[in-house]
Amino acid sequence: MKLQQNQLYKQGEDYIRIVELARLAVSYKTMKDPVDGEGTTHLVTKKEFCRLIKGAELLDYEP
């Protein structure tokens, strides 16, 4: 799987959107509703992010 900015994942009741993608780090936002866009932003390594989204569903999302 190739990570790209603005990808949206659904994991349980939460949505996870990639905000910024760097060489070794990922900044992502967790939110309850992807339409309003309100949530918290987190910064983790790519390895940690891949572990986080393991089992999550990639959604078709157009910002």
- For 18, residues 6+ apart whose C-beta sits below 8 A from its C-beta are 3, 4, 5, 6, 7, 26, 27, 28
What mean pLDDT comes out for the span 8-12? Answer: 95
Residue 14 has pLDDT above 70, yes or no: yes
First to last CA, the chain: 20
Domain ranges in the chain? 8-59
How do residues 20-56 score in pLDDT, each as one tens digit? 999 999 999 999 999 888 999 999 999 999 999 999 9
- Count, in order, helices (H) and strands (E) of the chain: 1, 5
The pLDDT, as a whole number, for residue 63 is 63
